[in-house]
Amino acid sequence: MKISLVIFQGPSASGKTTLQALLGLPRIVTWTSRAPREGEIDGVDYHFTQRETLEQMMREGQMLETSEYRGHLYGTSLASIKETLIDDTWIDETLSDETSIDEPSIDETLIDESSIDETSIDEPMIDKPSIENPAIKGTARRGGLRSIVLDPSGAEIAGALLGERALRLGVLASRAECEARLRSRGSDAATISARLAGYDEEIAALDRCDLVVRSGEGGLERAGEIVRALRPLLGVAD
């Protein structure tokens, strides 16, 4: 079965986004309600929009996962996950309403800050969706193999949507290793505590992954080698 989406999951500061970058796949772009920073490009770094728009998407069940951090919303849309099912070619018509995948019911409760990924200490890294409904006919889209970093609940929903076309890759590191990485980034004790509040849940969820790599105790380089070895198996040219 062709893989459409590689999902990285694991504790905060375990190295998920480092390994995602080493795999070298296009990432799903996420939404945020904050304003673009200098040099950021809408649709590349994030889909930038108003808070009210994201709240409406949440109410309408369009979001896979959402979080709030420093007063701004961040989230991943269900549409962006479904788009990976489309072959990596331009098409004239997307899935009709009758053939689209049933959307799960998404809780509008915001995810705890501890689920925010470790890409920066300033904001989460959750990959972006598209506000248009992917089931609308007559819209050209580009699908194909993508990657994303998700928390356990988002990974579970995405895995259910995509079935065998999702590859769930877990990243394991000890709590002490994650704490050390966060300290090296300048995080204070309160921030570290918040970021690792979901550590046990993240570790337990690794049992649901197809592959788990160990990135702690100096193992991040080895984990990177393993991830890069997946590229030819996924059909990714070097």
pLDDT (0 to 100) of residue 94: 36
Q: Does 36 fall in a domain? A: yes
Q: Residue 74: is its pLDDT beyond 50?
A: yes
- Model confidence at 1, pLDDT cuts 50, 70, 90, reads low
Least confident of 10-14, 75-79, 218-222: 218-222
pLDDT (0 to 100) of residue 198: 93
Domain that holds residue 190: 5-233
Which three-class secondary structure string do you get for the chain?
CCCCEEEEECCCCCCHHHHHHHHCCCECCEEECCCCCCCCCECCCEEECCHHHHHHHHHCCCEEEEEEECCEEEEEEHHHHHHHHCCCCCCCCCCCCCCCCCCCCCCCCCECHHHCCCCCCCCCCCCECCCCCCCCCCCCCCCCCEEEECCHHHHHHHHHHHHHHEEEEEEECCHHHHHHHHHHCCCCHHHHHHHCCCHHHHHHHHHHCCEEEECCCCCHHHHHHHHHHHHHHCCCCC
Q: Does 238 fall in a domain? A: no
Q: Does 220 fall in a domain? A: yes
Per the structure, the count of domains in the chain is 1
Q: Does 43 fall in a domain? A: yes
- Model confidence at 87, pLDDT cuts 50, 70, 90, reads low
Query: What does pLDDT average to over the chain?
Result: 79
Q: Does 153 fall in a domain? A: yes
Q: 192 or 89: whose pLDDT is higher?
A: 192
Q: Residue 169: is its pLDDT beyond 90?
A: yes
Q: Does 29 fall in a domain? A: yes
Q: Mean pLDDT, to the nearest integer, of 155-181?
A: 94
pLDDT (0 to 100) of residue 99: 35
pLDDT (0 to 100) of residue 20: 95
Q: Does 91 fall in a domain? A: yes
Q: What is the CATH number of the domain that holds 206?
A: 3.40.50.300
Q: Residue 90: is its pLDDT beyond 60?
A: no
Q: Per-residue pLDDT tens for 171-189?
A: 999 999 999 999 999 999 9
Q: Does 122 fall in a domain? A: yes
Least confident of 31-35, 139-143, 147-151, 177-181: 139-143
Q: Per-residue pLDDT tens for 100-131?
A: 334 433 333 333 333 344 433 345 544 433 33
